[in-house]
Amino acid sequence: MAKLKGSGQIVKTASRIDIRRIAKANLLELGILRNGSGGLGAILRSQATPGCIEGVRVAPLQIHPDDRGFFEEVCRLGQDLAQSFAAAKNVQFSAALSYPGTVKAIHYHLRQTDLWTPVLGQFQVMLYDLRIDSATFGQTNTCYTGVLRPLQILIPPGVGHGYKVLGTESALLVYATDQFYDPSDEGRLPWNDADICYDWETQRK
């Protein structure tokens, strides 16, 4: 694993890998691989997908439709992907409605864990491992999820994340965090960061 230089700006190893350092809190140190491979990375369809970022977890959700609409259980604290949330003192639930074509990215947290549940519309979720000491540092994941593929996503601290709303309908994301919102814990990167080089374009194949 690469080690930081005293200046904290650029790290070089024998394999000539450069790291752009962006944040540090206690033992967590975040950075971006310079001139990364970009693209979509591994497409997550389940927890067993090869290339899944360390600590990211994905689980299917059950939608129960009937003639009135549908019911979907978001989470039970202390169970499944929300298991660790039972010990948190300041759990917060929030909702974000986004219009078609909206891109919200790239955010990261130094302490906060997110549990995302897309409940309406379709999302293209991007994830990027910013944790320099992680076994999957610099890797990218993409998850297509929403009413057509109901999945829940656990995003640990230090994993950059964001999404694009797909299709022609607005999309609703309901999410839990294991801390109350704290602006000092949130970091932001440009949606089109040149080193991460994530592919937000509609795929033409």
Give the percent of the chain with pLDDT over 70. Answer: 92
pLDDT at 26: 86
Query: Model-level pTM?
Result: 0.89
Return the CATH number at 60.
Answer: 2.60.120.10
Residue 8 domain flag: no
The answer to the question of residue 51 being in a domain is yes
Alpha-carbon gap, residue 51 to 115, rounded angstroms: 20
Is 155 inside a domain boundary?
yes
pLDDT tens digits, one per residue of 125-181: 999 999 999 999 999 999 999 999 999 999 999 999 999 999 999 999 999 999 999
Strands 57-60 and 171-177 come out as unpaired
Q: To which residue do tokens 């965090």 refer?
A: 177
Distance CA 168, CA 101 (A): 8
- Radius of gyration (C-alpha) of the chain in whole angstroms: 17
Out of 81-85, 120-124, 200-204, give the one with best mean pLDDT.
120-124
Long-range pairs, 42-51, Cβ under 8 A, ≥24: 42/139, 42/140, 42/141, 42/142, 43/141, 43/142, 43/143, 43/144, 44/141, 44/142, 44/143, 44/151, 45/149, 51/136, 51/139, 51/141
Considering the chain, what is the average pLDDT of its residues?
A: 90
- Tell me the average pLDDT across 104-111: 97
Total domains in the chain come to: 1
pLDDT above 70 for 60: yes
Q: Nearest to residue 158, comparing CAs of 137, 180, 182, 183?
A: 137
- Tokens representing residue 79 in the block: 């169970």
Mean pLDDT of 11-32: 80
Residue 66 resides in a domain? yes
Percent of the chain with pLDDT over 90: 79
In order, the DSSP letters of 156-177 are: -TTEEEEEEEESSS-EEEEEEE
Whole-angstrom Cα distance, residue 183 to residue 198? 25
Residue 125 lies in a domain: yes
Range of the domain at 112: 37-188
Strand partners of residue 144: 124
Q: pLDDT-based confidence at 73, cuts 50/70/90?
A: confident
DSSP 155: E
Confidence category of residue 16, pLDDT binned at 50, 70, 90: low
